[in-house]
Structure 1
Amino acid sequence: MPGWGPGDQRRQLRRKARPAPAPAARSPRRGVAWIIVILETVVTTLDEQGEPHFAAMGVVWGEETIIIRPYTNTRTFRHLHKHGEAVVNVTDDVLLFAKSALTHERLECEPAPRVHGVVLSGACHWREVQVREIAVPPAAASASRADVITRVVGAGTLRPFVGLCRAKHAVVEASILASRLRFLPLPEVLAEIGRLEALVEKTGGPREREALLLIRSHVERRAGNAGGRR
């Protein structure tokens, strides 16, 4: 891929990766014994030019199968539909989560060992996945979600997952709210972000505070563009 450095980065990442089991995975939509676990992650895909795209996204998590649920009008959906591969990154750095939710900033990343994609350098651990099935609602509107059912083909760990304090949880929730301004009343979003902001001030560090400033700026900019409507 153009722009990558020497191959030692890829070899180092491979040493931290491990192969994932690839049995005939069942869809979580079948049967009644499944416990659905939704994790907030950063999904990385590649566009037609091989440039990485970062999207904060809740996924249905599993060791063998992961369901990614992008909206059908997003880049993530288009990339998954065209290329069929992605990396699902788990991180406790909520500034990276906020940036991937609200900006198009290219974050620091490394080539993935087993799929055509990238691993977020700030990830704690990751799963490399390949698409098995894409289910799109009939007559899908622009706001519809697809179920992209993927098979885990690789996994790795970069560092321990420290955990989420109240401030980190607050940033994740505020990022999700800010990303849904098209669907939610602006006064409600502002009120909830104000409540979450207080948690960050009480228990957060520099990264959490920077993330909240990014979120607040995004919301205020969108509010200004809307001329105060909503």
Structure 2
Amino acid sequence: MIQETIVTTVNSNGDPHIAPMGIHVNGDRFVILPFRPCNTLNNILETNTAVINYVDDVRIFAGCLTGRRDWPLKKAEKVDCQYLEAALAHCELAIDRIEDNEVRPMIFCKALHTVNHKPFRGFNRAQFSVIEAAILVSRLHMLPWKKIESELEYLHIGLDKTAGEREMEAWRWLMEVIEDYKHEVIQA
């Protein structure tokens, strides 16, 4: 199973990095598959730790992909890392092993400590739409423009029906990036 999460890591200087990431989950075992190059991978290689954050504020997903990474953090308990203050739950990880790959290494982790902070009340369709649009933004350079357009058209349906202020704000951030990409790359 893949869960859409926010991964927090720190480098050897203790500087945090926040990134949305689909995590492969099997019980208390996790596999993180970051694309190269990325700060998440670099930080994990430096510190051998990471934290998975489960959030329902989709602005964090959208914000990380649109240059808005200044989300409040708290110190983790069992690893030298941080978790999101907005996390409904977080899981502190230890890295077991890494299978290197030139495109997407596999980082095998185990849960050291898991904390539930608040109840998860479920996603509405707009939150799903924002998360899927965020994934599209993260892959703009990999996907055909027609696919991006058709997916956004479909995702907009759920957004229109169920969005609140947070979801609309996150959607606007993502659409700004997509419009910039469209003008710079597609229409160039």
Greater gyration radius: 1
Deviation, 1:103, is 2.5
Q: Does 1:219 align with 2:183?
A: no
Deviation per residue, 1:85-114 (Å, 9 max, x gap): 010011111111221234252211111111
- What is the rounded CA distance, in whole Å, between the counterparts of 2:54 and 2:126 in structure 1? 17
State which of 86, 110, 114 in structure 1 corresponds to 2:50: 86
Counterpart of 1:180 in structure 2 is 139
Q: Which amino acid aligns with 1:92?
A: D
Q: Which amino acid aligns with 2:9?
A: T
State which of 28, 41, 51 in structure 2 corresponds to 1:64: 28
- What is the rounded CA distance, in whole Å, between the counterparts of 1:104 and 1:82 in structure 2? 24
User: Structure 1 segments of 4 or more deviating over 4 A?
Assistant: none
Q: Conserved in 1, the CA contact under 8 Å of 2:145 and 2:186?
A: no
Deviation, 1:155, is 0.8
Q: Which amino acid aligns with 2:8?
A: T
Q: 1:62 to 1:102 in 2, by over 3 A?
A: farther
Deviation, 1:161, is 0.7
Q: Which amino acid aligns with 1:172?
A: I
- What is the rounded CA distance, in whole Å, between the counterparts of 1:46 and 1:106 in structure 2? 14
Aligned-CA RMSD value: 1.4
Counterpart of 1:54 in structure 2 is 18
- What is the rounded CA distance, in whole Å, between the counterparts of 1:228 and 1:80 in structure 2? 38
Q: Conserved in 2, the CA contact under 8 Å of 1:53 and 1:106?
A: no
Q: Conserved in 1, the CA contact under 8 Å of 2:35 and 2:105?
A: yes
Q: Conserved in 2, the CA contact under 8 Å of 1:125 and 1:156?
A: yes
- What is the rounded CA distance, in whole Å, between the counterparts of 1:119 and 1:53 in structure 2? 10
Q: Which amino acid aligns with 1:222?
A: Y
Q: Does 1:109 align with 2:112?
A: no
Which residues in structure 2 correspond to 1:18-37 (within 5 Å)? 37=1
- What is the rounded CA distance, in whole Å, between the counterparts of 1:130 and 1:44 in structure 2? 13
Q: Secondary structure at the match of 1:61?
A: strand
- The number of residues matched between the two structures is 188
Task: Give the percent of matched residue pairs that are identical in Structure 1 and Structure 2.
Answer: 29
Deviation per residue, 1:177-209 (Å, 9 max, x gap): 111001012232133213212321211111111
Structure 1 runs not aligned, ≥5 long: 1-36
Deviation, 1:67, is 0.8
Counterpart of 1:145 in structure 2 is 104
- What is the rounded CA distance, in whole Å, between the counterparts of 2:115 and 2:9 in structure 1? 17
Q: Conserved in 2, the CA contact under 8 Å of 1:63 and 1:152?
A: no
Q: Which amino acid aligns with 2:92?
A: E
Deviation per residue, 1:29-63 (Å, 9 max, x gap): xxxxxxxx110000000124312111100011134
State which of 148, 152, 157 in structure 2 corresponds to 1:198: 157
- What is the rounded CA distance, in whole Å, between the counterparts of 2:84 and 2:129 in structure 1? 22
- What is the rounded CA distance, in whole Å, between the counterparts of 2:86 and 2:156 in structure 1? 24
Q: Conserved in 2, the CA contact under 8 Å of 1:54 and 1:104?
A: no
